[in-house]
Amino acid sequence: MNRGRILCAALLALAVPGGFWVARGSGDGDVGPWGLIGAMPPVYWLCLLVPAAVFLRELTRDRDPWLLSGALAAQALLLHGAAAAAEALPRFATAWLHAGFTNQILVTGELTPALDARFSWPGFFSAAAVFSSAVGVEPVALLEWAPTVFVLAYLPPLALLARSLSGSVPVMWTTLWIFLVANWIGQDYFAPQSLALLMFLIAVSVVCRVFLEPPGGSPQRRPAGPLWAGAGRLRQLAGRWTTTPPPVHPVPGIRQRVALLAFLVLLLAALSMTHQLTPFMLAATLAVFALAGVLRPRLLPVIALTVAVGWVSFGAAAFWTGHLRTMFGGADESIGSGVEDRLTGSEIHQWVLYVRISFALLVWVLAALGAAHALRRRRLSLPAAALAFTPFSLLAVQSYGGEGVLRVYLFSLPGMSLLAAGLIVELIGSRQPAVPARRRRVAAAYACTVAILPVFFVARYGNESFERVTAGEVQAVQALYAAAPPGSLLVSVTPNLPWRYQGLAGYSYLSVQSDELALDRAAPIIALMSQHSQGAFLIITRGQTVYAEESYDLPKDFSGRLEREISASGRFRTVHRNDEGVVYRLVSQSEADDVSG
Amino acid sequence: MYRDRRAVSLIIIGWSLTAAVWAGFDRQHGFAVDHLRLLVVGGFLLAGPGLAAVRLMRLTDRLLATVVATGISLLTLVVAAQASLYTDAWSPPAVVGAIAVLTALLAAAGARRAPAPAAAGPADGEPAAGAP
């Protein structure tokens, strides 16, 4: 090993612990409206640049697999583990809720789909319950590093996928790096979709490695019928412009293929129990492979669809009865509620959203240019294009609570990264000739890398002002549970609260949203809480108010006004108060009159 | 080679037994021991069953074997937990025990199989001989 590579390895070994060391506690104070980017110390940015620089150096020179792997792992840790390193408590209120689902299964061993639809797909929660029990920690303890672990776990199947479809080692490494940097979407927290995406990548990568073959490979087995005849004409047309990667060494034998097919079917079953959307996305991707004539066996998408529909029909019947509209919303709803409705809130919050949209568009445009470039050379990988563009079909059938566009970006990212990587590797050129033109391109690649890392931080952690969780907030939530007798109604003024990680079934919960109730008025909250006969408690925390200010664009002093109204009403008693939150108990009108009298 | 396979199988069986026993403990033992438990038991659940199964399948492409091993471990954990839940026999230690037994059986079967013949040809991931 030469001196340069030893130095690179040493820098990588120092960058991760050094970055985490200087970042600790940075996210616990006021992070500012742009999120973590304003809170991280300058040394952290230097540490963040080390893996990027090592990666580019190796990619354009020696391509040492150990150094490239180390650089990618370090980049994943420093990018996706930044919040875990900088903040004392796990971020993101929904992750705390998922810890509550896990805890509910762990303690009771029962599913309660009446409480939440997600109990109809309990694969992730039951597995997490077994895992947390086996390793001897509370489910909440798993939240902090879950995103980092999931992102690291995505890399091997993505590498297999990229290697199988491109047949190029530089394209494989570049795909991984693009995926790491472009994955700002934050869907890798402690959640079913994180595990489901991992299973999706594993299934697709194994299919691409073992079960793809050039179109028309077995004409005698080709099914008859108008659908296949039409698909055949399309295949002929596509075959002129596209390519399917050749089988790679070592080619699995027939027994191994049978074993891997059985593995895929079992994985499909586990996936169907885990997440409502991903199995259908996988079935759609496999169906496009089959229609393109490159998938053997062709029945695999039918099996995938049958397993997914089977679980929805039987395992999740408690959910879909009466919710078909929710499951199959239209394209207008997907796009409308996915993009337009999210472009609300404070000016800076809207800028964060614009950065996210621009980042997604940049990746898509790069991928489209990569696809066009490959198509011009008649070398476009048909499965890669299918993987990149099939997720857009999701918009036509699934609203997914207004997150359709985000899901499209998430599922298209592996294929898009691959197409964009092909273009970037072509642009940088061969590693051999050190001609000035190539030097300029490599320098440009370094510059782009340096520029994109802060953009990632804004896109990924731009909402950290309200997505982070502080010790004071958790203390207030614990005081709420300590004060509220079982059966009480617990009310939060916005949904952004780290609660329900315990006592999930023991209380009635109500998250008031701005479109349901004016947040800065106490009277409607009192009216709502008075309807509950078993006692009602209200909690207001810093995270809730910042969320309302940033997302609903409410005035900065709205929580102060609300608290003044609460105090003036005489209907609330303060149960707990600290710098980050306050808990009130609603008292009856007669009790309030007695005190005021 | 055959001795190596038996040694690896024995290590996996020992790992399975350790994980199954340790998963049954409730108490916290302190920072170092708890983190060791996370590594041994957590690592077993996320890698053990897949590692044993992949050896039985004799996959020689290391990247493919890594991916399949991860997938098998995850699906084993999900399916075993689901089975425990839906049969009203919820017991996380029993789930870990069942996974450990399955893993030990796969590892034992893997030890009895003859090793895969050395794959001659290009490096992993390169186009196979005769490919267009």
Q: Which of A130, A160, A314 to mutate to test the interface with B (most CBs of B within 10 A)?
A: A130
Give the gap in angstroms from C-alpha A55 to the nearest C-alpha of chain B. 20
> Which residue has better confidence, B55 or B4?
B55
Paired tokens of A214: 């050039």
pLDDT, position B65: 95
Asked if residue B32 has pLDDT above 80, the reply is: no
DSSP-derived 3-state class of residue A580: coil
What per-residue string of b and e applies to A14-47 under the rule 16 or more CB within 10 Å gives b? ebbebbbebbeebbeeebebbbbbbbbeeebbeb
Give the gap in angstroms from C-alpha B84 to the nearest C-alpha of chain A. 9
Q: Please tell me the least confidently modeled range out of A221-225, A372-376, B14-18.
A: A221-225
Q: Identify which of A156, A248, A263 has the shortest CB distance to residue B127.
A: A248
Cα–Cα distance measured from residue A557 to residue A565, given in angstroms and rounded to the nearest whole number? 12
Most confident of A156-170, A321-335, A551-565, B117-131: A156-170
CA nearest to B132 within chain A: A246
Q: Please tell me the least confidently modeled range out of A75-84, A221-230, B46-55, B97-106.
A: A221-230
Cα–Cα distance measured from residue A490 to residue A572, given in angstroms and rounded to the nearest whole number? 13
Show residues of chain B in contact with A195, CB under 8 Å.
74, 78
Percent of chain A with pLDDT over 70: 84
Show residues of chain A in contact with B123, CB under 8 Å.
249
Most confident of A311-320, A435-444, A460-469, A514-523: A460-469
Q: Identify which of A131, A159, A274 has the shortest CB distance to residue B45.
A: A131
Show residues of chain B in contact with A199, CB under 8 Å.
71, 74-75
CA nearest to A108 within chain B: B90
pLDDT, position A292: 83
Arithmetic mean of pLDDT, B45-73: 93
Identity of residue A110: E
Asked if residue A561 has pLDDT above 90, the reply is: no
Asked if residue A584 has pLDDT above 80, the reply is: yes
What does pLDDT average to over chain B? 85
Give the gap in angstroms from C-alpha B87 to the nearest C-alpha of chain A. 10
Reported as type and span, the H/E element at residue A351 is helix A347-376
pLDDT, position A186: 87
Mapping DSSP onto H, E and C, the string for chain B reads CHHHHHHHHHHHHHHHHHHHHHHCCCCCCCHHHHHHHHHHHHHHHHHHHHHHHHHHHCCCCHHHHHHHHHHHHHHHHHHHHHHHHHCCCCCHHHHHHHHHHHHHHHHHHHHHCCCCCCCCCCCCCCECCCCC
pLDDT, position A557: 79
Show residues of chain B in contact with A247, CB under 8 Å.
127-128, 131
> Which residue has better confidence, A438 or A381?
A381
* Cβ count near B103 (within 10 Å): 28
Asked if residue A403 has pLDDT above 80, the reply is: no
Arithmetic mean of pLDDT, A523-543: 87
Q: Confidence class of residue A247 from pLDDT cuts 50, 70 and 90?
A: low
Identify the DSSP state of A122: -
Asked if residue A333 has pLDDT above 50, the reply is: no
Q: Identify which of B42, B126, B129 has the shortest CB distance to residue A131.
A: B42
Asked if residue A20 has pLDDT above 70, the reply is: yes
Paired tokens of B126: 């390169």
The single residue listed with the structure tokens 């954990």 is B77
Asked if residue B118 has pLDDT above 60, the reply is: no
Q: Please tell me the least confidently modeled range out of A33-47, A404-418, A578-592.
A: A578-592
pLDDT, position A430: 60
pLDDT, position A563: 87
pLDDT in tens, A134-181: 998 899 999 999 999 999 999 999 999 999 998 889 999 999 999 999
Helix spans in A433-498 (H): 436-461, 464-467, 471-483
Q: Identify which of A134, A153, A206 has the shortest CB distance to residue B41.
A: A134
Asked if residue A411 has pLDDT above 80, the reply is: yes
Paired tokens of A90: 């796990």
Show residues of chain B in contact with A251, CB under 8 Å.
128
Q: What is the pTM of this model?
A: 0.90
Percent of chain A with pLDDT over 90: 50
CB distance A260 to A202 below 8 Å: no
CA nearest to A133 within chain B: B92
CB distance A87 to A480 below 8 Å: no
pLDDT in tens, A445-477: 888 888 899 999 999 999 898 899 999 999 999
Output phi, psi for A447, to 5 deg: -65, -45
Show residues of chain B in contact with A267, CB under 8 Å.
71, 74-75
Show residues of chain A in contact with B25, CB under 8 Å.
136
Paired tokens of B125: 């991931």
The CA-atom distances, in angstroms, between A368 and each of A171, A339, A365, A419, A459 are 16, 21, 5, 7, 22
Asked if residue A569 has pLDDT above 70, the reply is: yes
Q: Confidence class of residue A319 from pLDDT cuts 50, 70 and 90?
A: low
Q: Please tell me the least confidently modeled range out of A60-69, A308-317, A336-345.
A: A336-345
Show residues of chain B in contact with A248, CB under 8 Å.
61, 124-128, 131
Asked if residue A89 has pLDDT above 90, the reply is: yes
Cβ contact A134–B28 (<8 Å): no
pLDDT, position A342: 56
The single residue listed with the structure tokens 């390793």 is A135
DSSP-derived 3-state class of residue A96: helix
Paired tokens of A34: 């742009």
Q: Which of B57, B72, B74, B113 to mutate to test the interface with A (most CBs of A within 10 A)?
A: B74
Cβ contact B71–A126 (<8 Å): no
Give the gap in angstroms from C-alpha A91 to the nearest C-alpha of chain B. 21
pLDDT, position A334: 45
Percent of chain B with pLDDT over 90: 57
pLDDT in tens, A473-494: 999 999 999 999 999 999 998 8
Q: Please tell me the least confidently modeled range out of A17-21, A389-393, B74-78.
A: A389-393
Show residues of chain A in contact with B60, CB under 8 Å.
250
Q: Identify which of A105, A249, A256 has the shortest CB distance to residue B126.
A: A249
Asked if residue A236 has pLDDT above 90, the reply is: no
CA nearest to B95 within chain A: A130
Asked if residue A332 has pLDDT above 50, the reply is: no
Q: Identify which of B34, B79, B92 has the shortest CB distance to residue A134.
A: B92
Q: Confidence class of residue B91 from pLDDT cuts 50, 70 and 90?
A: very high
Asked if residue A582 has pLDDT above 50, the reply is: yes
Cβ contact B124–A249 (<8 Å): yes
Helix spans in A36-92 (H): 42-60, 65-80, 82-86
Reported as type and span, the H/E element at residue A288 is helix A278-291
pLDDT, position B131: 47
The single residue listed with the structure tokens 């008649």 is A378
Size of interface A-B (CB pairs under 8 A): 164
Going by C-alpha positions, the residue among A97, A302, A133, A292 that lies closest to residue A208 is: A292
Asked if residue A375 has pLDDT above 70, the reply is: yes
pLDDT, position B123: 60
Show residues of chain B in contact with A263, CB under 8 Å.
68, 71-72, 75
Cβ contact B68–A124 (<8 Å): no
Cα–Cα distance measured from residue A474 to residue A471, given in angstroms and rounded to the nearest whole number? 5
CB distance A98 to A32 below 8 Å: no
Q: Residue A585 pairs with which residues in a beta bridge?
A: A537, A573
> Which residue has better confidence, A465 or A401?
A465
